[in-house]
């Protein structure tokens, strides 16, 4: 097994220079970032919607970013403190947000729903109309199609093999893929039931091979290969998950991912123009 402690503690993993002292409430757009508190054994959600009133959660973006990407066995847990408006210090012992929600799109939907029900003036008043909600969910890829594991193989595994086997972590793969696919399934059912299936757009690639599917190989060569893989993904047809196989399948006669992104971009651009025009008319 590789020398994890020395590798994980390299200084470049915790640099905060670019984010400086920016805090959650200073983001240019509304965001919600999931993490998991390993001490409390419960999720901690950093939402710009609640940062102004829940000052304990108005942490530095550098701390939040490090925490939400601290994948167990790959990157170290992140500890930091933050003071609320009264001066009380709060402790955070956080690991990867993927432990809470490896596909956080449903959390984002929940945050928007809460703001509508709370009559946030930035949202249209009245019942939540999900036909007006657009979701673009970006995956980071996997090698699911390799089918590396099976019951006969894993039946003889002990704790070490579940954590680390042939360059991978089976237990993490199982939990993370389960989380991703479950949320993707619920999103598909949710938008289909609302009569607006095309408002949910999931982009992911479950055919990555070798180093491309690795979490922690950040060589220039591998990063460039990932860029090329992303470009090829844009040209592929939009997919939907097959609930029987768990794999993504192209939509018959469907658009490419690039075409679908352009459609979403136009919808958002048109909405922005309309809002600006309405704001100008009522000023």
Q: Spell out the per-residue pLDDT of the chain, length 283, in tens.
A: 344 444 444 444 445 556 668 999 999 999 999 999 999 999 999 999 999 899 999 999 999 999 999 988 788 999 999 999 999 999 999 999 888 888 899 999 999 999 988 888 888 777 888 898 999 999 888 887 778 899 999 999 999 999 888 878 888 888 888 888 888 888 888 898 899 989 999 999 888 888 888 878 889 999 999 999 999 999 999 988 776 776 778 999 999 999 999 999 999 999 999 988 988 888 7
Note the pLDDT of residue 243: 63
Tracing tokens 């249209």 back to the chain, one arrives at: 124
Secondary structure (3-state) at 249: strand
| 102-272 maps to CATH 3.40.1090.10 | yes
Note the pLDDT of residue 263: 97
Q: What is the distance in angstroms between the CA of the first residue and the CA of the last residue of the chain?
A: 64
Note the pLDDT of residue 224: 95
Note the pLDDT of residue 241: 73
Distance, CA of 180 to CA of 144 (rounded, Å):
12
Q: What is the pTM of this model?
A: 0.82
Which residues in the chain are classed under CATH 3.40.1090.10?
Answer: 102-272
Note the pLDDT of residue 19: 63
| Residue 266 phi, psi dihedral angles, 5° rounding | -65, -40
Q: Which residues 6+ apart lie within 8 Å of 264 measured at CB?
A: 134, 136, 201
Token pair for 42 = 């419960």
Cβ 59 vs Cβ 68: under 8 Å: no
């Amino acid at each position: 097994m590789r020398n994890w402690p020395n590798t994980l503690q390299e200084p470049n993993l915790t640099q905060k220079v670019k984010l400086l002292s920016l805090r959650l409430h200073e983001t240019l757009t509304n965001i919600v970032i999931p993490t998991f508190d390993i001490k409390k054994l419960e999720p901690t959600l950093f939402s710009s919607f609640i940062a102004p009133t829940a000052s304990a959660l108005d942490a530095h973006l550098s701390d939040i970013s490090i925490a939400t990407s601290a994948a167990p066995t790959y990157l170290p847990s992140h500890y930091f403190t933050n003071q609320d408006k009264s001066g009380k210090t709060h402790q955070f012992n956080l690991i990867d947000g993927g432990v809470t929600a490896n596909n956080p799109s449903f959390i984002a939907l929940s945050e928007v729903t809460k703001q509508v029900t709370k009559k946030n003036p930035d949202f249209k008043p009245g019942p939540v109309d999900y036909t007006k909600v657009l979701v673009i969910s970006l995956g980071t890829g996997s090698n699911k199609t390799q089918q590396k594991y099976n019951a006969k193989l894993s039946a003889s595994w002990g704790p070490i093999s579940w954590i680390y086997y042939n360059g991978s972590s089976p237990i993490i793969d199982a939990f993370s893929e389960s989380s991703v696919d479950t949320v993707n399934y619920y999103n598909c059912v949710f938008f289909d039931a609302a009569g607006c299936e095309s408002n949910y757009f999931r982009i992911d690639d479950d055919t990555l091979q070798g180093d491309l599917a690795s979490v922690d190989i950040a060589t220039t060569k591998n990063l460039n290969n990932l860029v090329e893989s992303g470009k090829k993904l844009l040209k592929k047809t939009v997919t939907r998950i097959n609930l029987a196989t768990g794999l993504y399948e192209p939509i018959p006669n469907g658009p490419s991912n690039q075409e679908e992104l352009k459609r979403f971009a136009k919808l958002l651009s048109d909405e922005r123009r309309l809002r600006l025009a309405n704001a100008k008319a009522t000023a």
